[in-house]
């Protein structure tokens, strides 16, 4: 039994993809949320000029028509960020598995599920851009999409993964015995800034929170990059 246990890490580190997966996941982690930050910044600039698109479908189409190029770029940033969030959050899970495995797993599951849902939500922006150009009076159709009860669980999943998942990830970092506590606080600033925005503080609170989150995630990236491949593989 002892020989089997001691041999297992050696067998697993023979996998030549370990270094690639460790480094690519570590880099993807802050990069994913830097892309989300770029999306939020573009939206904040547009919303500061003419107001946001949280009103009726008709108001949303007017917003997309007025900021078509900006919203296209913001949508692309968000989509790429969602894709990068999957390997990035899995890398964070491995970093945190040593100290707070259950809490880190809960955070990772919520965040990945939330950003997968967000990918689908952002795809609807292409329809909004097309409607804003070709059928600007189709606001009722936009309202019908958001009012569809079948879509509600996915919107809720994104909200939970985005806010609660990020908060739990930051908490896992704060409680980690191997990472500086302040990096977890920086990560949790995304949730705080976004909630302030939702309560009427303005989009720039979300942008500031996102910037601090990226700074906190860079600490996890540094930890992952310092981790030997054998240790990384042994974490599962």
pLDDT tens profile 131-163: 888 887 877 888 888 788 898 999 999 999 999
Q: Is 30 a member of any domain?
A: yes
Q: Is 193 a member of any domain?
A: no
- For 76-92, write each residue's pLDDT tens digit: 999 999 999 999 999 99
Rounded to a whole number of angstroms, the distance between the first and last alpha carbons of the chain is 19
Q: Is 142 a member of any domain?
A: yes
Would you say residue 31 has pLDDT above 50? yes
Q: Is 98 a member of any domain?
A: yes
Structural domain range at position 63: 18-161+218-234
pLDDT of residue 14: 62
Nearest to 41 by CA among 206, 215, 218: 206
Query: Domain total for the chain?
Result: 1
Q: Is 228 a member of any domain?
A: yes
Q: What is the mean predicted confidence (pLDDT) over 44-59?
A: 80
For 99-135, b where at least 16 C-beta lie within 10 A, e where not — what string?
ebeebbebbbebbbbbbbbbbebbeebeebbebbeee
Label residue 16 by pLDDT band (50, 70, 90). Answer: confident
Q: Is 186 a member of any domain?
A: no
d(C-alpha 38, C-alpha 88), whole Å: 17
* 3-state SS class at 46: helix
Q: Is 42 a member of any domain?
A: yes
- The answer to whether 135 and 57 have CB atoms below 8 angstroms apart is no
Q: Is 166 a member of any domain?
A: no
- The answer to whether 234 and 12 have CB atoms below 8 angstroms apart is yes
């Amino acid at each position: 039994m002892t020989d089997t246990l001691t041999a297992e890490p050696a067998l697993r580190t023979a996998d030549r993809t370990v270094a690639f997966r460790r480094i690519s996941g570590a880099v993807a982690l802050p990069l994913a949320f830097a892309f989300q930050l770029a999306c939020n910044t573009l939206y904040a600039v547009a919303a500061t000029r003419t107001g946001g698109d949280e009103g009726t479908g008709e108001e949303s189409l007017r917003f997309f028509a007025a900021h078509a190029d900006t919203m296209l770029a913001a949508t692309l940033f968000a989509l790429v960020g969602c894709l990068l969030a999957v390997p990035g959050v899995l890398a964070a899970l491995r970093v945190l598995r040593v100290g707070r495995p259950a809490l880190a797993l809960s955070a990772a599951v919520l965040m990945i599920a939330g950003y997968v849902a967000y990918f689908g939500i952002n795809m609807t922006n292409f329809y909004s851009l097309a409607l804003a150009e070709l059928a600007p009076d189709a606001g009722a159709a936009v309202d019908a999409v958001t009012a569809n009860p079948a879509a509600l669980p996915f919107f809720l999943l994104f909200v939970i993964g985005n806010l609660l998942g990020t908060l739990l990830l930051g908490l896992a970092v704060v409680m980690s015995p191997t990472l500086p506590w302040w990096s977890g606080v920086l990560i949790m600033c995304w949730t705080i800034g976004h909630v302030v925005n939702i309560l009427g503080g303005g989009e720039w609170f979300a942008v500031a929170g996102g910037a601090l989150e990226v700074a906190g995630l860079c600490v996890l990236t540094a930890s992952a990059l310092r981790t030997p491949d054998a240790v990384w593989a042994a974490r599962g």
